[in-house]
Amino acid sequence: MSLLDAYEAALQHDPIYRSALHENEAGQQAEIIGRASLLPSLTVTHAQNKNSGTLDTGTGTQPLNFDGQVSTLTLRQPLFNLEAIAGYQQGKARADSSRAKFLGHGQQLLVRVVEAYVETLLAQDRVRIAETELAALEELKRVNERMLQKGEGTTTDVLETQSKHALAQAKIIEAKDELEIAQLKLEALIGQKITQLVRLDDTFSSHTIQNPDGYDTWQALALEQNAELVTQRHNVVSGKEEIKKNHAGHLPRVDLVASLQKNKRGSFVTQGLDAEFGTIGIEVNMPIYSGGRVNALTTQAVANHARAEAELDAATDKVLVELRKQYNLRTLHGQSQFQVRLMI
């Protein structure tokens, strides 16, 4: 299995990435759900009933017993609804937030696969080194024992070699444990048992990030493109639209309403008669008092928006601190580019 094979397998199996994939799929529906409130709705209702009563004719009463059917087709189109408009904008922000968050998970997966792959290769090398060292000490141990038997060696040399041999055996056990843990970590990512990994070529390296302008350019890129910061900025926008949506609970809603009704002996007025009615008009709903619910929801939304802004500030500080750390490591020691790429 090569590094690319491992990454492709992780895309299909890794539980964290699959969870993020489905979370993004669900998040993309937020925009569609919000837009639906601005589009017309069409409903059909049908009722069948049995009616009984009496009619006072002035000279007496007569029974009224009949079966009725009423079918209604209703079309409603919002004309003025600030709550729906804010809900649509909020849905767009949530969809964008899910998209940015998913992008961040994809970048994190790449880093986790590379780290697990390289750690496994390194653990394999440590096992081979430990086995080679043990084999060398076993040979040295036999040489020292033969020399001691011939009177050319010393007991101290034999004991010292035996001590080193015991330590080498312990190192092999430790190295094999580390290899097993590294393999389990990689297997958990890719969902397959590892039999053999392709060794990285001696010339393997990540492409160097070209940055002629120094740290300031990286900082600007991180602030603009970092997946965590982009996600949090969309959350701030979503919180702002939530304020507008809740505040709109004080405002009127205007709808265009059209209906077509077919009444088959469906009421006492039309009993014994079939009738069809068509209506079209404007409906205005004006909220007056809701027990303080609208004010409470608006205040809650304001607080949540302020929290989202504070979380954005905290995330920005965290990213910039880590970016400075990775930049300094790269400048001083030529560290890998993966973490820096994840920042920007």
The mean pLDDT of 189-206, rounded to a whole number, is 80
Cβ pair 263, 90 in contact under 8 A? no
Mean pLDDT of the chain: 87
Which secondary-structure segment (H or E) carries 132? Answer: helix 82-149
- What residues does each domain of the chain span? 1-35+98-204, 39-79+253-286, 209-251+289-344
Query: 1 pLDDT exceeds 90?
Result: no
Domain 39-79+253-286 has CATH 2.20.200: yes
Each residue's pLDDT tens digit, 93-145: 999 999 999 999 999 999 999 999 999 999 999 999 999 988 888 888 787 77
Identify the pLDDT of residue 60: 77
Q: Which residues pair with 278 in a beta bridge?
A: 260
Tell me if 1-35+98-204 shares its fold with 39-79+253-286.
no
Q: Where are the beta strands (DSSP E) in 182-273?
A: 253-264
CA angle, residues 254, 256, 262, in degrees to nearest 5: 135
CATH number belonging to domain 1-35+98-204: 1.20.1600.10
Task: Please tell me the pTM assigned to this model.
Answer: 0.77
